[in-house]
Amino acid sequence: MTLLGTASAMPVKGRNQSAQALNLHGRLFLIDCGEGTQYRMVEERIPMMKLDSVFLSHIHGDHVFGIFGLLSTLGMKGRQTPLNIFAPVNFGPILKFFLSYYGDGLAYEIRFTPLKMKAPETILETKSIEVRAFPLNHGIETFGFRFAEKEPPFNVRKEAIEQYGLTLTEIGTLKRGEDVLRADGSRIPASEAAYKPFVPRSYAYCSDTAPFAEEAEWLRGTTVIYHEATYMQELADQGARRHHSTTLQAAKAALEAGAEKLLIGHYSSRSGEAKAYEAECRSVFPETFATSDGDIYQI
């Protein structure tokens, strides 16, 4: 996952507005598209023509002002592969406006999926991954996203194939995690002959949102959470008025969800260094890391 922008609404030197590029099992996803995102993709050498899907959390400008330029550039580059866009229902008129004025000549299809769920729902699924969207608490329609690997099938150990002379049927049984029971009454335990190639990982994106009761439950067991922490704790009153989270609120969400790591961003332009945000979060959740534009994380 590459951080393309970690600022909030106001321009800040060295920080672009919200955008992330996530490479998941060979599929390239863009999460939010603040102003200047396509420039950041060029700078970070993110191949925009390989974009599979775009996920927009809400229609506030610092999360969508870059989408027109990106869609136009994809057209000028000659894209023909369909592009998926998952966004709130109220993004529909914005996309219609773009297509009515700037859609002529686009050789690719834009497949818009409007989001309107009241609880987590699967919006994209393949054999190996699942993406779920869930509502956030930001005063307007806003959604978070959770990207997760599915449980992989078991791999059969090569030495077991030779040792037991496994048939194709028996290999298939072991790949399902089941013991092989032979006609002579002998048993080949899956625990000895097979193994899981990896433990499934997950990543959740929560920006923008004030705390809400279901958040920890919906994020339960997520490996890495990116959570907005627009304000330090001394400005908690502003966070409450503007439906944003503070450092300590973001840290509490990660702690209650049982996450392994918390990434924070979406910093207020009036606040100081990101390390100060990090320090406040670590008083509650030690595995917190303040993000900067250009950071790359292996989930």
Tell me if residue 186 falls in helix, strand or coil.
coil
Contact yes or no for 29/55 (Cβ under 8 A): yes
To which H or E segment does residue 30 belong?
strand 27-31
How far apart are alpha carbons 71 and 205 in whole angstroms?
22
Of 32, 52, 62, 179, which residue is the catalytic one? 62
Query: What is the token pair recorded at 213?
Result: 């009761």
Residue 174 phi, psi (nearest 5): -65, -35
Residue 83 has φ and ψ, to the nearest 5°, of -120, 125
Question: Active site includes 293?
Answer: no
Peptide linkage before 208 cis (omega within 30 of 0): yes
Burial class (CB in 10 A: 0-12, 13-18, 19+), 65: middle
Cα separation of 75 and 231, whole Å? 38
Nearest residue to 291 (alpha-carbon basis) of 276, 272, 274: 274
Is the distance from CB of 166 to CB of 160 less than 8 angstroms?
yes
Catalytic residues: 62
